[in-house]
A and B are shown apart, each in its own frame.
Chain A
Amino acid sequence: MNDPQRIPITRDADIVMARQAGRALAAQLGFKGSDLALIATAISEIARNIVVYAQRGEIDLSVAEEGDRRGIAVVGRDQGPGIPNVEQAMRDGFSTGGSLGLGLPGARRLMDDFEIESQVGIGTIVRMRKWIPR
C-alpha cells in the first residue's frame, strides 16, 4: 500500500486544504467531475466535524485497492471528546454544534463505504472509500 498523505486539521483553512488535496488525488486516480465534487464535499464535512468538535485531528488520503477495484480512501481521525451516540449522530438533522446536522450522514451518502468508530473521551475515526466506476 502507498503511504497516506496526511493533512493536519486544526483550523477552518485546513478544511479547504484537505478537500483540495482529496480532489487532486481523486482526479489523479481517474475520477470524473461529479465524483470529484462528491469526494471533496465529503472530505469537507468530516474535516469540519474535526474542527468544530475536536479542534484538532488529521485527514489521511490514500489509494484504496481491493481485488481489481481502485479508489480513494479517506480517514479522518481526532482525539476529541468522542460521540456518545453514534447512531443518533448518523441521523439526518441531528447536531449538537448548531449546524444543519448533515455532515456525517451526508458524507456517508456521498461515498461508497463509510465506517465510524467513536469512543467518549478517546476520539473518533471516520473511514470512507469511493471506488472508480468501471
Chain B
Amino acid sequence: MSVPILRHGNVLVASIQVAQTDDELLQLSDRLTDMIGKTRARGVVIDVTALDVLDSFATRTLRGIAYGSRLRGARTVVVGIQPDVAFAMVQLGLDLGAVSTALDLDDAVAELDRPAKEAGSR
C-alpha cells in the first residue's frame, strides 16, 4: 500500500501506517521529492509511529529523503519513533545523521516553523 502524502500549508505529511517493503520506501522517497517540487513545500514530516522496525535500509532511506529534500529546499522531520524501535536502532549502530526528529506532529511542525539557521542540525 502506498503511503498517503497530505499537504498542510507548506508542509507535506507522510504518515506510514503499515510495514513497508524496501521498494515501497523507495517509492515514497521518489514521490516526496517529486511533490516538494510541485507544491514548493518547505517542510516534510514523516510519521513512523506505526512502524515496529526501523532497520538499516529504512534508516538509510529516511536519511536519503532528508538529504534529497534539503537539496530541493525543504527540511525533513521524522516523528514517532517508538522507544523499543529507538533502542534497537542504537544497538544496531544506526544513526539518522542530519535528520531531525520530533516526538509528535505538533513538535515536528514547530521545528519546521523555526528559522532554518537556528534549527538543530540533527
A residues touching B (Cβ–Cβ < 8 Å)? 12-13, 15-16, 19-20, 23, 33-34, 36-38, 40-41, 44-45, 48, 92, 99-100, 102-103, 105-107, 109-110
Contact = CB atoms under 8 A, between A and B. Distances in A.
A25 B104 CA distance: 31
Q: Is the interface of B mostly helix, strand, loop or mixed?
A: helix
B52 A40 contact: yes
Nearest to B59: A100
A100 B85 contact: no
B85 A106 contact: no
B57 A99 contact: yes
26 contacts: A12-B21, A12-B23, A13-B21, A20-B19, A34-B87, A36-B52, A37-B84, A38-B87, A38-B88, A38-B91, A40-B52, A40-B53, A41-B55, A41-B92, A44-B53, A44-B57, A45-B55, A48-B22, A99-B57, A99-B60, A100-B59, A102-B94, A106-B93, A107-B92, A109-B92, A110-B92
B70 to A, nearest CB: 19
B92 A37 contact: no
Contacts of B55: 41, 44-45, 48
Interface in B31-57: 52-57
Contacts of A109: 91-93
Q: Is the interface of A mostly helix, strand, loop or mixed?
A: helix
B60 A100 contact: yes
Nearest to B25: A12
Nearest to B63: A100
Nearest to A107: B92
Contacts of B92: 41, 45, 102, 106-107, 109-110
B19 A102 contact: no
Contacts of B84: 33-34, 36-37
A80 B23 CA distance: 22
Contact of A16 (B19, B59, B82): B19
A110 B88 contact: yes
B21 A37 contact: no
A13 B21 CA distance: 5
Nearest to B84: A37
B87 A100 contact: no
B53 A41 contact: yes
